[in-house]
Chain A
Amino acid sequence: MRLLYFAWVREKAGLSSEEVELPADVTTVAELMAWQKTRGQEFASAFERAEVIRAAVDQAHAKPETEIAGASEIAFFPPVTGG
């Protein structure tokens, strides 16, 4: 699965994209965020305020309870500030 990071989430995580094999018990966006916190200092810092981080599953806005099975691309980012 491909993971993408944008804005300050990207800066704190220290990378903009990666390919990962997820543990079998990670099945929702919320579980994926909880897993990210366990991946070392950078990820713990990036996902420290997980409640403010938004996610997109296959380029569509997702909720914490959104299922991620079969997704090919999941992105994490702060609330958007365009316009």
Chain B
Amino acid sequence: MLHKIKYELERMPKFVYVLALLTAFGLGVGVYRLYAGLAVTTNLSKAYPWGLWISFDLAMVSLSAGAYTLAALVYVFQFEDLHAASRPTVLAGFLGYSSVLVILFFDLGRWDHFYSVFIHPNFSSALLEVSWCIAAYSLILIYEFSPVLVENNKLKWLLPTIKKYTVPIVIAGVTLSTMHQSSLGTLYVIMSPRLHALWHTMLLPVFFLISSYASGISLVIVGSTVSYWLLGRSIKEKTIAKLAWFVPWILAFYFVLKFGELMITGELDLLFTSGLYSLLFWAEFVIGGIIPIALLSMKKIRHDRVGVMIGAFFALAGVVLNRFDVTWFAIKPVLGQTYTPHWMEVALVVGVASGVLLVYSLVAHFFPVYEETSAVGTPKTEAAKFMESPVLEH
């Protein structure tokens, strides 16, 4: 057994060690934060009780929307040619959510009371809704991923049972995702005095939900393009083009609704009079609106692996910028205080993100994550060799 572990460790490529180092350092900083308190390890203050960690959480949840968007498309809407992308996406989604839970734990001032969330709930709190939904949804993602874990070993007999209940479980998962994707927007509804009016609206939950569809689909596109480059495995070009077709429509709907909301509330003038805030809003509109809509509405680009990936990447960047705006950049300063993260806050985020990549690579190495994807081209990268597993010919 020891020999086997030693052999495996020696076989690991270098990037695995780099990721492991970053993860260990980040988690070390996290443990130090638990010991030393928030004052010496963060720049959080009375004026800015939430910082980089919350921004990371919200951005990560919007990126992890890939898992529920795809599950809905594959199992509920039954687009079967998308099925090949579901294993990598569900794994990425699960690790994304896990990273959110880990960061949240370190963010809690009283992490030793975390169980209060389950035994002492306040049902009018949007944060309660978010925590319950994320906790439950993480379990559902494990269920959705479980066939990969049991397929090639002694637990194989579980497969038919797992398959039998997949559809109701997926429907529960999509429902929970709908709830927490929107509830993350609800979090900021109560913050009307602090959040800039260009972002604050009663419709925040609706905006968060719609943009999560765009980021979810875009993540599947970017993910399968990256796996095409690194591993030579992907879903078919035609399928990606089909997915990409949705994105401009969703984004256009989002921005029509956003500008409509500003018009109805009489806040259109803020688009030009709020200085840096106006600039941030326009950046969001150009990066996450105009560019991806323009690119992905062209058929030629939708069918081009690089083009479609660039378009989807801009859509993702736009949604991430939006989450950072709502959670950080568009929070109005009080008493002239501003917030920039402490290096330890950054170290924990980098560490946890590296941990996500590390665990993803390891799971893909030991389990048949990419089995259902088609082989396209010949991979020569280190990562490709590492994640080798049998390929099904389509």
Do A and B bind?
A: no
Residues on A lying within 8 angstroms of B by beta carbon are: none
Q: Which residues of B contact A (CB under 8 A)?
A: none
